[in-house]
Amino acid sequence: MKKIVVLGGGTGLSVLLRGLKQFPLDITAIVTVADDGSSSGRLREEFDIFAVGDLRNVLVSLSEVEPLIEDLLQYRFVTDSSLNNHPMGNLLLTALYNITGNLTESLRSLSKIFNIKGTILPFTEENPVLIAHTTDGKIIEGESNITKAGKEIDYIEYKNEVKPTKEVIKAIDEADLIIFLCDGRCEVSNDDYLIAKMLKKSNKPVIVAVNKIDDVSLAPNAYDYYKLGFDDDIIICSTTHGIGIGDLLDKVIEKLPRIENNNNDEAIHFSLIGRPNVGKSSLYNAILNEQRVIVSNIEGTTRDAIDTLFVRDGQEYVIIDTAGLKKKGKDYEAIDKYAALRALSAIERSDVVVLVIDGEKGILEQDRSVVSYAVEEAKPLIIVVNKWDLVNKEEKSMNEYIKDLKENFKFCQYATFLFVSALTKQRVGNIVEEIAKVYKNSSKHIPTSIINEIILDAYAYNSTPDFNGGRLKIYYANQVATNPPTIVLFVNDPNFMHFSYKRYLENKLRERIDFEGTPIKFILRARD
């Protein structure tokens, strides 16, 4: 998945991100945190915290939760007390910041809670203060005061030295494409030059989106941004009014690097993930020993990782080297954080993920935590119960074990199950067969006529319930992508879709088409 970094602030950033998250992109939003007005300003003054308003809006734009949760984050208190006009999301961020003392960590925690698609980072962990130098020689301090003053701005700079965090530098270094969102109402600032200089050093493709150009009278402001040195990669737009957004998305597609052909294009990439000591290494070796032809060892994308390429029945496979995922929390942080990051990277690079469970010890909470990463990445999933030779079959039969697996992994009912022994090599050969089958299911493209027949028949048989003040109408369905199978539903209002009805449609699809082992992704679009 291509990595795209969007750097900016204000409502424009959140609007742009809401559109980008509909595409299969790994998004990192880097948020400038200089706002000092309204709720953000009051919290900033009282708690010495960064501007949290823009961060809250980005959280909402990238979250994939029920609309009620979004409403909760955006809810503003109306009261005569000190809570007046504070959004709930701002208070949550402030509370977490007081607990952790670190804004990046606070955002990471909230991202997990609110199911954020992507990563949100503050540009700095320092408390930035903007200073505007006006054309008439005045100096105005604070972003809100600059806006209120209505003066013609000569240039803007930070009062204090502001340095990007190491997480920001890393995200830029790993990006395939960067979008730098600027405020077109102002001339190029020292801050813009500072960021532009950092982006140029990265040697990454950069698109400068000059935002807030709502009418033609403001268009000349945008040309000032050619001073940043990004030549023809400047797009004039207004995220609020939708002006230039199509041009921006076209430029994104144009600038994203193409996947280079290599000798492994046709290979099925898979990884073995799981808790420590479940037998991943033994299973890794057992799978390879089953093969007649070992082609080569190849470098992985992480330092010191070695992936293995082999052939079976004319099909190439690559086992992605990984390390065990450890317990979250303090143990996770202290014992093996690098191993966890390596495993997460392996999941991202995998066509199929194989979760390995210790059949003797049974299903643990850590197993559910580990598999959640694969589910978040929408990867086909096989759950392999290893050490099956050590399990007392009189105490627990295979059918009973499968029942337990389905109960513990309700959030990924699409997964398939295998029972093996790396030690005795019992059914180890079935793993590669199952990988091939699951990958084939994930790669299926179903004709539009059949998709429509299934979806509309299901809709006619069981109409949608009232939800969020209305009833969903489904007009049309189309599969737009594979790996995973992605279905676009054209409806009257996406907000009327209840999660239980989406699950119902998924079940109807699975009744007619063999999608075993692979997730199905639905995208809802309002019909114009």
3-state secondary structure 186-244: CCCCHHHHHHHHHHHHHCCCEEEEEECCCCHHHHHHHHHHHHHCCCCCEEECECCCCEC
Q: Residue 150 to residues 33, 147, 180, 295: CA-CA distances in angstroms?
A: 21, 6, 25, 68
CA distance 63 to 57: 10
CA distance 166 to 102: 13
Q: Burial of 199 by CB count in 10 Å (0-12 exposed, 13-18 middle, 19+ buried)?
A: buried
192 Rama sector, left if φ>0, alpha if ψ -120 to 50, beta otherwise: alpha
The secondary element (H helix, E strand) that includes residue 376 is: helix 365-376
CA-wise closest residue to 521 among 117, 250, 110, 61: 117
In the chain, where are the structural domains located? Answer: 3-124+163-255, 127-161, 268-441, 448-526
Four-way CATH pick for 3-124+163-255: 3.30.1330.30, 3.40.50.300, 3.40.190.10, 3.90.1300.10: 3.40.50.300
For the record, the structure tokens of 411 come out as 């959030």
Considering the domain 268-441, what is its CATH architecture?
3-Layer(aba) Sandwich (3.40)
CA distance 20 to 8: 14
CA distance 521 to 488: 9
CB atoms within 10 A of CB 223: 11
Torsion of CA 263, 1, 335, 325, to 10 degrees: -80
Per-residue confidence (pLDDT) for residue 286, from 0 to 100: 85
Q: What are phi and psi of 177, to 5 degrees?
A: -155, 145
Residue-wise pLDDT tens digits, 334-360? 334 445 556 677 888 899 999 999 998
For the record, the structure tokens of 227 come out as 């001073």
CA-wise closest residue to 251 among 261, 236, 267: 236
Say how far residue 309 (Cα) sits from the centre of its chain.
28
Torsional sign, CA 137, 138, 142, 147: negative
CB atoms within 10 A of CB 108: 17
> Which top CATH class is 448-526?
alpha beta
Matching fold, domains 268-441 and 448-526: no
Per-residue confidence (pLDDT) for residue 36, from 0 to 100: 57
Which residues in the chain come in under a pLDDT of 50? 259-263, 291-297, 299-305, 323-338
Per-residue confidence (pLDDT) for residue 474, from 0 to 100: 93
Q: Which residues contact 322 (CB under 8 A, 6 or more apart)?
A: 271, 272, 273, 280, 305, 342, 343, 345, 346
Q: Which residues contact 260 (CB under 8 A, 6 or more apart)?
A: none
CA-wise closest residue to 350 among 397, 305, 390: 305
Per-residue confidence (pLDDT) for residue 292, from 0 to 100: 36
CA distance 204 to 221: 25
Per-residue confidence (pLDDT) for residue 143, from 0 to 100: 64
Alpha helices in 409-497 (DSSP H): 429-442, 448-461
Query: Residue 303 gets which letter from DSSP?
Result: T
Query: Looking at the whole model, is its pTM more than 0.75?
Result: no
Per-residue confidence (pLDDT) for residue 265, from 0 to 100: 61
For the record, the structure tokens of 265 come out as 């294009």
CA distance 270 to 280: 13
